[in-house]
Amino acid sequence: MNILGLDPGLKETGYGIIDENKKVLDFGVIKGGNPFSQTKKFQSVISKHSLDFAFVEDAFFYKNPRMSLKLGEVRGAFIYLLESRGIKVISIPTSKVKKALTGNGRASKKQVHFMVSNFLSLNLPDSSHIADAFACALAGLFSNVFKD
């Protein structure tokens, strides 16, 4: 079973792919200024892997409503792409991701990065997008979703 974690962003989207044994299969950052260009670039990534589940970080709410709407467009484009390929997509709140990895739903980015590195035995690049994506995948793996 292969699990994708996705951290959608306005200019960059981080992704991390692990298997059920926490083996790292792939990771990176998709750069692009709009949802279409990001998802178009991402198609080649998901074509290389047989993905069973995708855990997508819930939308972050900006003080500026336009930014929240734009982030929603990015998330929607990725969710559509994944679902159209038969990949089960599950949204996961940031606080639940942090709690699953650190025991604290209000953990700092630095704490999440540290725990992701430990869980995966990986020297992660200094990218919060990649760490957050792997955090989503790990939180999904640790959840009860697969017990049904």
pLDDT tens, residue by residue, 42-60: 999 999 999 999 999 987 6
User: How far is the C-alpha of 6 from the C-alpha of 131, rounded, in Å?
Assistant: 10
For residue 123, give the nearest of 114, 111, 133, 110 by alpha carbon: 114
pLDDT of residue 129: 94
User: How far is the C-alpha of 46 from the C-alpha of 54, rounded, in Å?
Assistant: 11
Our answer to whether residue 19 is catalytic in this structure is: no
Active-site choice (12, 57, 113, 132): 57
Active-site choice (12, 113, 129, 132): 129
* All domains in the chain, ordered by first residue: 2-147 (3.30.420.10)
pLDDT tens, residue by residue, 56-76: 998 766 678 888 888 889 999
Our answer to whether residue 129 is catalytic in this structure is: yes
User: How far is the C-alpha of 9 from the C-alpha of 31, rounded, in Å?
Assistant: 9
Query: Considering the entire predicted model, what is its pTM?
Result: 0.94
Our answer to whether residue 7 is catalytic in this structure is: yes
Whether residue 148 is predicted with pLDDT greater than 60 in this model: the reply is no
User: How far is the C-alpha of 30 from the C-alpha of 106, rounded, in Å?
Assistant: 26
pLDDT of residue 61: 65
Q: Predicted confidence band at 135 (pLDDT cuts at 50, 70, 90)?
A: very high
For residue 4, list its beta bridge partners: 17, 54
